[in-house]
Chains A and B, each alone.
Chain A
């Protein structure tokens, strides 16, 4: 807090930064309560099997064990899931992935908990498993969910525009390729955790590291048979989320534990290994593309088939794939498209939301295809992108007419005129011995909001306190993206009060209002729009009350200043505290709802999607990566990186840079080293020593430039910038490595081993090396 008025368009240090740097901020993990009990679950440890028995006697005998529960002790449906309720809280009949929970223990401390979990005897008869896309699709494959009508296909869908087959057969140039991207992990530093207790009146109160407190209430209520209003969820600042805390992690376990804890607080904290084992993941995918163009580079037709490995439960798998499909054609004008998608159940860990929600996967394939086309045509890859870039009024690959401003062309132009791109030949020529250099570009876009069929709504609430200070009730979690600070900025801009006059209430289902999840790059857009209306109303009320006291006839004759309202014509002032003291509570509280606008002319396709198709608003970006490849080891180093982003107008330049740099950093990890590796459903990379995320020395300086094109429906013209930055690095780096070495990059991540192998294959001549 600075004692200044937060204003739109200026860099503003975060409202939460000071408390975080002093260690004072309490994350969910830091809430202990008085001598809490500890809860933990016994995981299946086998990827697919029939449960023959769960013997809890020895665990129950251990002194200090409060309760040992199995699926039979779950009072409600025992099913979690956001769209499909297919995930047991505690499995009763079969287990579908290694991380499935079969028993819950509540104990006096963590040592007792660990020993009790160890004493549980679980008898599981293994079943043949489904460990990937080919397994899932094989005729006669074992079924992950016997009762699911589509077999192992959770969702099959298509998006069709024009006649792709006919157009492709007429194209003079057709490129075809298949790409693979790995399962990835969020690896937020604060693992899934929370603390819960049952109040004397029977209500469950939980403090959880969660992106969706309001939805959690509903999910827990459904699974445990509790009325939603009997559950209160409080969401402090999160130690990272990135999508991995969008949906139940510890919530149902904690509520169940609280029901058996005699009113004592119960804590559950997943270890890092448990987080890898049982936490949600980014979908591994296989992407087959066939792209046709005219000889002059004009894109004519695209046919793609996308396969997403969604793991053992539906979670958000269908929706992730839907968004990937909607983005499969990239930010380009392609008259004829056919995008087919299969979201597949397997016995792998559960995949769900992760920053770039299905889009990070297709961006790799689409942007590699554009480079392959440029190579075939012998044209400049950046110019080819610009030539085909979507503009306002065009129809995108999903058949939606872009009624809103679309800045991808501006991003590509800005990137193209930057020295990192223009000076690339000179830089490449300076490579040292055993090094090869290359420069790659990628153009990407990412939708904002839930899309049609699931109203994207927020309810903002602002209160003038009786002492004249202001209380802002945020209904959307802040997992580090900084929406809370943006809200403060919006409120400051309208109410003209210093930041020290504001008090912020973080999401709490009792105190704040339902405003949806912290996801889909929507938080500042949707809640911000609602907040503008609420703050404007409160401003009118404050100024209106001052008009009454100062006997001024019109509100326009008054101005609101820090702590007071002034009548400039006469110089008379009245303190806001004095005004507040005369106002009743209903007068001091303003609430406003905002619903994100949706596409009006819905294309006649994508009928298989339950919710979330199509989208109206997109943020755009063009990225340039300079890489150096070590020919002896295959190691790829990103030397420098440029991200040009169009996400409407910029409310806080520092916050946008944070989002872009952070997303690019994660994207570089996705490109070079991050991969959840599995052997028959078992994780081979169960910790931060083996699941390698970039450290401070592994990342280049990341230059972030903003192209500002105001979005008319956005709060102060902004759009979400949280996700689009992660879609660019993998394709930009892959294109750069291809540029450096002339090898075909079809598989991520670009580990040293894969690159070296491709270099050797290409040295041997014949077929182009592949990585």
Chain B
């Protein structure tokens, strides 16, 4: 395909395979080897780039996604012969050892400072939590970002003129560019099937509307539909998925909105977790969902992954699922001809299995505002703070009476069963009770018997059972202590 995009400020039309990984495109076709590959599956952040100013992982993107976008790699940050303040700070503070993570780390820091110009050390650590470093222990990296933040004006623009080049392109900038020398590609994907290396390559289609999507889906009934690509790219890389075509939903504006009416929030399936977290309506009304989303992956993963993807992947460890269960979320499914909806618990039927028909996509999830609950809670046990698959999690809603009895309670556990475990029985056991030690012990014991976890590499079933019960204990203790 002919790909029109802007790379480090230069308008380019590239002849490339649409499903070529962006990291390969940058390194091997454009010689931009400052973008490194450390894992190929979004776990290390070495391949970080900025796309329209936002932190992205180039190993989880295909070339077609760059159409019309502005890409900044490490080579595009700063001026030739002069370092960007972040680069300068990394050098001065000793934040560079082997240096293999440095380009990605610096771009992650640039994305962080754009959003949060004066972050505290914890915020810096959180902002860089998608980028692994094996040499430094991160301390001098945090020092460097702090130092650079001091040098940077509040609007994120570096202080001196030579650094003022818009390294961080704004969204949509690329589309303002001069017409490319070659005719622009048709909207959406390219239709050629490239054959190289004896393998049939995928078509990559990027519909810009639902109408366009339906016709693509008719054309390519076996297509794999995806939104953020954080799971699919990993499957493609190891050959676990070999669909004839890929249909990427990221350009369909209808899927990327959060709308509200009197008692309900309708979250488009294409809303990224990053946008979900940043939306004040989610923070105000659904803090349990926000907190869960904050624990998913890492900043660049959240900038790519969507809530619809998290639902359709239907992993028992899906971080947004326990909150959606207790919020009685309804999923909205659409095809060319019909729209239907159902409770999320009916939609997800097992690990990785959902009730989506051919020609249908998940368009939104509707969540009622749980005004009746005073307390919303989410806790996840992972093997580390970020980039952690849930070992066990608990989402909870609670209302206590003025006397301290439980008036309303909803509980759902993740990673302790084939799907999210919700238990009306345990809720009933607690309802109307004043949570004494005996009541808590009964609820914990019931939890141990209700969940049905398995052993895997992250934990045994027995640990998960205990942890699930203990997460409930902590929640109820905390709720009582707050009173």
Contact = CB atoms under 8 A, between A and B. Distances in A.
Interface string B118-148: 0000101110110111111111111000000
Contacts of B458: 690
Nearest to B457: A684
A14 B94 contact: yes
A21 B36 contact: no
A116 B140 CA distance: 45
Interface string B38-51: 11110110100000
A575 to B, nearest CB: 26
A604 interface: no
Given A13-B91, A654-B94, A693-B134, A433 B103 contact: no
B197 A64 contact: yes
A240 B129 CA distance: 19
Q: Classify the secondary structure of B's interface with A.
A: loop
B44 A692 contact: no
Range class of the A interface residue count:
35 or more
Interface in B214-264: 238-239
Contacts of A238: 98
A677 interface: yes
B33 A688 contact: no
B152 to A, nearest CB: 16
Interface stretch (B182-190, B302-310, B378-386): B378-386
A699 interface: yes
B387 interface: yes
A18 B39 contact: no
Contact of B83 (A22, A687, A689): A22
A726 B69 CA distance: 44
Interface string A686-702: 01111011111111011
A699 B386 CA distance: 12
B198 interface: yes
Contacts of B35: 23
Contacts of A634: 463
Contact of B34 (A23, A687, A689): A23
Contacts of A433: 477, 481
Interface in A461-486: 479-482
A208 to B, nearest CB: 15
Interface in B375-434: 381, 383-389, 391
A11 B143 CA distance: 15
Contacts of A32: 28, 33
B99 A22 contact: no
B99 A237 contact: yes
Contact of B94 (A13, A64, A189, A673): A13
Given A661-B140, A665-B136, A20 B470 contact: no
Nearest to B86: A21
Interface in B349-373: none
Contacts of A237: 98-99
Given A187-B134, A434-B477, A662-B136, A18 B100 contact: no
Nearest to B381: A633
Given A482-B97, A635-B381, A688-B44, A665 B138 contact: yes
A137 interface: no
A161 to B, nearest CB: 37
A698 B140 CA distance: 15
A189 B132 contact: yes
Contacts of B124: 696
Interface in A670-714: 673, 677, 684-685, 687-690, 692-699, 701-702
Contact of B96 (A11, A21, A633, A677): A21
A109 B457 CA distance: 34
Interface string A543-567: 0000000000000000000000000
Given A109-B197, A434-B477, A239 B460 contact: no
Nearest to B477: A433
B466 to A, nearest CB: 6
A658 interface: yes
A767 interface: no
Given A13-B91, A658-B97, A695 B196 contact: no
A696 B135 CA distance: 12
A697 B386 contact: yes
Contact of A698 (B28, B46, B384, B471): B384
Interface stretch (B71-79, B160-168, B277-285): B71-79
B17 to A, nearest CB: 10
Given A22-B74, A190-B38, A13 B92 contact: yes
Nearest to A666: B134
B474 interface: yes
Given A433-B481, A633-B467, A694 B139 contact: no
Which of A27, A187, A433, A662 has the most chain B CB atoms inside 10 A of its CB? A662
Interface string A33-76: 00000000000000000000000000000111000000000000
A756 interface: yes
B87 interface: yes
B139 A702 contact: yes
A695 B385 contact: yes
Given A63-B198, A690-B458, A696 B138 contact: yes
Contacts of B139: 661, 699, 701-702
B287 interface: no
Nearest to A635: B381
B337 interface: no
B387 A658 contact: no
23 contacts: A14-B94, A14-B96, A17-B96, A18-B87, A20-B96, A23-B33, A30-B27, A62-B198, A111-B197, A189-B36, A189-B46, A240-B135, A480-B97, A480-B98, A662-B134, A665-B136, A666-B134, A689-B41, A689-B43, A695-B132, A696-B124, A696-B386, A697-B125
Interface of B: 27-28, 32-41, 43-44, 46, 73-75, 77-78, 83, 87, 90-92, 94, 96-103, 106, 122, 124-126, 128-129, 131-142, 196-199, 238-239, 298, 381, 383-389, 391, 457-460, 463, 466-467, 470-471, 473-474, 477, 481
